[in-house]
Structure 1
Amino acid sequence: MSANTMMDLLDIEFIEIGKDFIKAKMPVDHRHHQPFGLLHGGASVVLAETLGSVAAQCSIDASKYYCVGLDINANHIRGVRSGTVYGITTPIHVGRSTQVWQIKITNEQDELVCVSRITMAVLEKKS
């Protein structure tokens, strides 16, 4: 699913799937930096949107529906220069037509780096 996508370019890897969460990791290197050598906020948002979108898609009947993003926000709490960050998404609301997912991104010391929330629309596939 990740081949030839943004996930592939940024080396995002899913590492754990639970009943109500999905966890992924992403390295922090020159590909993920902004000009001051810190993790680019956009890279954190890519990780967050990837997690929320995949979680939303996993929670529906994919033969009848698909999910698209409506809104995403992110608060960047702590800078990261290198290593690995971990994102975990959990549901806030899983409804018939919309879903809201929270994503927390932490560093290797389990310190909060970014907190994000994504709203997804659940759309019916046309026959």
Structure 2
Amino acid sequence: MFRAPIAPSDPCPCGSSAAYRDCCGRLHASLAEAATAEELMRSRYSAFVAGDSAYLLHSWSSETRPRSLELDPEQQWEGLELIRVVKGGPDDAAGKVEFRARFRAGGTVQDQHEVSTFVREDGRWVYRGALAHR
């Protein structure tokens, strides 16, 4: 399956009310860094939607980042629901974001429920890992 690119004027897949170019698109294009753990988590979800493995690796902690990342081209991400955000603000050093993401794989809709942890590395937010994954 071919993933269509996200047009700059399309609604951002992360669920904000902004256009992709004004939201996660500016982070994917390295025009800005995420200001909060929540913003980074949303941008990582949008990177999964876009199939942008380079951004996912760039936004991953150097302590836990894999050498490479192969995304399943058959997987279609269909929605993001934020459940809870703990810390992760502009003045914090760490934060957690609990979310549920829906995706379709092999014709079946599935649900990923996770509590992701984020830390600052060299002054920027990065994804460290998942505390709970269902």
What TM-score does the superposition give when structure 2 sets the normalisation length?
A: 0.35
Structure with the larger RCO, 1 or 2 (CA within 8 Å, 6+ apart): 1
Q: TM-score, normalised by structure 1?
A: 0.36
